[in-house]
Structure 1
Amino acid sequence: MKLLLISLFALLQPNADDFKLQNGDLIFQEACSGDVATAIKDVTKSSDGNQFTHVGIVYIDENENVFVLEATHPKVILTPLNEYLYPQEHKDSYPKSVVGRLKNEYQHCIPKALKEGMNLIGKDYDYGYILNNDQYYCSELVYDILLKANNGLPVFPLNVMTFKSSETGEFTKEWIDYFDRLDVPVPEGEMGINPGAMSRSDVLSIIHYY
């Protein structure tokens, strides 16, 4: 009898293998290491205690092949899902990946947003985190294509960017070194958006953990 009850209980539980991505799902990632990843974690907050450093948007083609459109070093690219989730350069420690889905009132934006995004493949990565310069960092890409798809009305709000540690109130060494290498000023106080803030927005729901 006990075994029967356990079997019935198991049948009633949702199976993680049954989860299916949809066009327009966002996959947030928490990188395990790296100076820039550490610097991002120091100055941003994410949902559910995570420390997201990257985000891409799901694109599923007519043959049901699943890709992630992402702005990464050095350009905007379309990456097969498995390569995005399990990058070979990090095979000893894959990034944590978490799926967010836009709420129903924004689902209508997705087809046009993806069309806009496909037109941006090959654009340069925006190392300086500056809006409206025809270059894109990861969350800027998602923000921008949804903005265009929603007739110029933001789906995600922009934030005032800070590159200062929440603990010390000072620029972290990683950010100082990063912008010194670029030979550009730290864009402190400029408008922008980061994966953590995006993950905490009330326009989406966190629905799956890989």
Structure 2
Amino acid sequence: MKNKEYLLSVIILLTFSIACTSPNSMNQIKTGDILFRGNTQQGLSDAINKVTQTPKKTNYSHMGICYVSADTIWVFHAAPEKGVCKEEINLFLSPNNEAEYTTDLYRLKPNLAQSAIKASHKAKEYIGLPYNYSYIIEDTGMYCSEYIYELFKEDSVFTLDPMTFKDAHSNTFNKTWIQHYQNLGIEIPEGELGCNPNGMAASENLIYITNIQ
């Protein structure tokens, strides 16, 4: 009996220890934190990553802002086909039950904590807007990084930079983007101001917290 009780105590202690020290624990997420989701090797996700690499060599193609309510973590984000939406974190981490994504958690620096809270509450105002497939800021709807940029715009947390749709190695337009804009019937908005997940993750106003999955 004593051996069984001892074994049970060890299991409980080990479980508690793993839960407290695991870098993947979602218990670290706070309202206003930003999740950056990795790219997949297909479609627009891969195309976005290929033309938006930074010196920090991040590999993100999507992002969203967190809101913690009771025992539920919500993520507000703008996604193709869904537009601006609010989803439970598990749906954001593994859309369509796909497991190939990796997701990192970032937080605004302490002096911008109030900006993070304010942005998370403002996020609900845009729910229902369509996705902006042109990636031109002035056009109807929002794409993922444009949405986050807009939430923090009042406090100048992020900046807009000239966009490029060219492959960094060949300096030619990525084939996916050529087809994408041909389908839209407009010119590629090369050089127009915009934003992207990789560039925003490199912002000096953010602190990397941990990998979520």
TM class by smaller structure = 0.7 to 0.9
The normalised TM-score by structure 1 is: 0.85
Q: Which position in structure 1 is the counterpart of 2:181? A: 179
Paired residues in the alignment total 196
Quick one: which of 86, 108, 111 aligns to 2:117? Answer: 111
For residue 18 of structure 1, report the CA deviation from its aligned partner: 7.2
Contact 2:59 2:198 in 1 (8 A): yes
1:59-83 deviation line (CA, Å, top 9, x unaligned) = 122x241111000013100010011
Q: Which position in structure 2 is the counterpart of 1:98? A: 104
Identity of aligned residues (%): 29
Quick one: which of 65, 69, 87 aligns to 2:95? Answer: 87
Structure label with greater radius of gyration: 2
Aligned partners of 2:88, 2:54: CA distance in 1, in Å?
Answer: 25
Pairing 1:118-137 to 2, within 5 Å after superposition? 118-137=124-143
Q: Which position in structure 2 is the counterpart of 1:34? A: 42
Q: Which position in structure 2 is the counterpart of 1:4? A: none
Quick one: which of 38, 54, 65 aligns to 2:72? Answer: 65
SS at match of 1:119: helix
Q: Which position in structure 1 is the counterpart of 2:191? A: 189
Letter in 1 for 2:164: T
Aligned partners of 2:136, 2:188: CA distance in 1, in Å?
Answer: 10
CA RMSD of aligned residues (A): 2.3
For residue 134 of structure 1, report the CA deviation from its aligned partner: 4.2
For residue 37 of structure 1, report the CA deviation from its aligned partner: 1.6
Where structure 1 has 5 or more consecutive residues not aligned to the other structure, the ranges are 1-6
1:39-71 deviation line (CA, Å, top 9, x unaligned) = 11221115753311000110122x241111000
Where structure 2 has 5 or more consecutive residues not aligned to the other structure, the ranges are 1-12
Letter in 1 for 2:28: K
The normalised TM-score by structure 2 is: 0.84
Q: Which position in structure 2 is the counterpart of 1:158? A: 160
Aligned partners of 1:128, 1:115: CA distance in 2, in Å?
Answer: 27
Q: Which position in structure 1 is the counterpart of 2:209? A: 207
1:171-196 deviation line (CA, Å, top 9, x unaligned) = 01111001111111111000001000
The runs of at least 4 consecutive aligned structure 1 residues that moved more than 6 Å come to none
Contact 1:68 1:78 in 2 (8 A): yes
Contact 2:39 2:49 in 1 (8 A): no
